[in-house]
Chains A and B, each alone.
Chain A
């Protein structure tokens, strides 16, 4: 019996180790994929949008602080994309339509950032913009010409872009919401359009009510 005691202790130790390992490894049984861990971390840390220079579909160059004082709804895309980006932008257009018109342009702007600056020139972006009936003003599409600035932004926001070797990229997609100071406050599931629109509207409503 005495000898079996060690065995029993070992079972308990191993089980405790297992619980601890899974607890730490999944942020307390919350995040089983790196993507869910990433969004949870972003919402927790609220990083500021780094100072990058954007060039939009109308060839205007400006820093991100152009949008200071407004909420910014962001997506990351590249126009040669044939699957996720299209869906992402179609969904973003639906969110755009669901937000009360009085807020659009005044309190919130939409911005689609391309991470493929070599191919996504202002002309290409302008054509792409028209597919989604974006007006290029309250919903802008822009590239970040400086590769270093682009990389630091993708890195800060945890956007992982993998070139697949055939000119396409695979990337994680979401709606990103930055507040009036340019701080990231939420990362939303891009497949849940109504939920995202409601969330944004309620934030804007709450502020308008004050």
Chain B
């Protein structure tokens, strides 16, 4: 219950116009801080939602696959250069961002993750790192300005942040093959 309140506070805080404007003024913060924080807000609210609607999650997201696909779809959608621009210029898209990231990405991610097997998790790690790597290369080496609302310098910075993220996921992915978790539990 405490977690849900923290999640709700974070969620409301992120949506405050001055906070949202500040976060969106820098491209990298928009993509790599504001958006993930919305997902985290959703994740924090998940236990409460599962308590309220236990049958819904058990019934429709039994093995975690529908949820994780939904998560991937939503984050891929927000990786498109166009959606970043439109979140700034079209109000409805901004609202969709506020709703989709916590509730269609954060909530299903947390619900699905514990249900997924090792194989499923590994597939997600590999897909995510490939995706981030691809986006990084796209944003760094694109000769064009991909977003009308951001400078090219910011675009390149964002690209490097993507590569860094991809690398971090890969390192995490690899380390689990060498670390025996049971030693720590």
Whether A102 is near chain B, meaning CB under 8 Å from some CB there, is no
Decide: B70 and A17 in contact? CB cutoff 8 A.
yes
Q: Select B62's contact among A3, A13, A17, A18, beta carbons within 8 Å.
A: A3
The answer to whether A170 has its CB under 8 Å from any CB of chain B is yes
Interface of B: prevailing SS: helix
A14–B69 CB distance below 8 A: yes
On chain A, the residues within 8 Å of B82 by CB distance are 25-26, 31-34, 36-37
- What total count of A-B pairs have CB within 8 Å? 77
Contact of A164 with B65 at beta-carbon distance under 8 Å, contacts A17-B73, A32-B80, A170-B145 already known:
no
Could you tell me if B81 and A11 are in contact, using CB atoms closer than 8 angstroms?
no
Select one of A7, A31, A35 contacting B148, CB under 8 A.
A35
* Pair A33/B146 contact, Cβ less than 8 Å: yes
Which residue of chain B lies nearest to A158 when distances are taken between CB atoms in the complex? B148
Number of interface residues of B (CB under 8 A): 26
Asked whether A22 is an interface residue with its Cβ less than 8 Å from the other chain, the reply is yes
Q: Contact mask B52-64 → A, CB, 8 Å, 1/0?
A: 0000000111110
Is the Cβ of A33 less than 8 Å from the Cβ of B81? Answer: yes
Interface string of A5-48 (1 = CB under 8 A from B): 01101110111011001100110000111111110000000000
* B94: Cβ under 8 A from any A Cβ: no
With beta carbons under 8 angstroms apart, the residue of B65, B144, B146 that contacts A11 is B65
When chains A and B are docked, how far (Å) is the Cα of A14 from the Cα of B66? Answer: 6
- Total contacting residues, chain A, CB less than 8 A: 29
Q: B60 near A160 (CB under 8 angstroms)?
A: no
Tell me whether B149 and A162 are in contact (CB under 8 A): yes
CB-contact partner of B81 in A10, A14, A34, under 8 A = A34
* A198 interface residue per 8 A CB criterion: no
A192 to B182, CA, bound (A): 61
Contact of B73 among A18, A32, A36 (CB under 8 A): A18
State whether the Cβ of A130 lies closer than 8 Å to any Cβ in chain B. Answer: no
Cα-based distance from A129 to B144 in the complex (angstroms): 26
For the complex, give the distance between the alpha carbons of A172 and B81 in Å. Answer: 14
Given A32-B82, A34-B81, A34-B85, A14-B73 contact (CB < 8 Å):
yes
Question: Does B89 reach chain A (CB closer than 8 Å)?
Answer: yes
Q: How far, in whole Å, are A64 and B25 apart by their CA atoms in the complex? A: 36
CB <8 Å contact, A11 and B80: no
The answer to whether B69 and A18 touch across the interface, beta carbons within 8 angstroms, is yes
Nearest residue (CB) in A for B81 is A33
Chain B neighbourhood of A118, CB < 8 A = none
How far apart are A15's CB and chain B's nearest CB, in angstroms? 7
| Alpha-carbon separation in the docked complex, A3 to B144 (Å) | 50
Q: Which one of A14, A31, A32 lies within 8 Å of B70 (CB-CB)?
A: A14
| B172 in contact (CB, < 8 A) | no
Question: 17 A-B pairs, CB-CB below 8 angstroms?
Answer: A6-B59, A7-B63, A9-B60, A11-B65, A11-B66, A14-B66, A14-B69, A17-B73, A22-B77, A33-B80, A33-B85, A33-B144, A34-B82, A34-B147, A35-B144, A38-B148, A164-B151
A82 on the B face (CB < 8 A): no
Question: CA A37 – CA B145 in complex, angstroms?
Answer: 14
Cβ-closest 10 pairs across A and B:
A34-B85, A10-B66, A18-B73, A7-B62, A10-B60, A160-B148, A14-B70, A33-B81, A11-B66, A6-B59
Q: Residue on B with the closest CB to A6?
A: B59
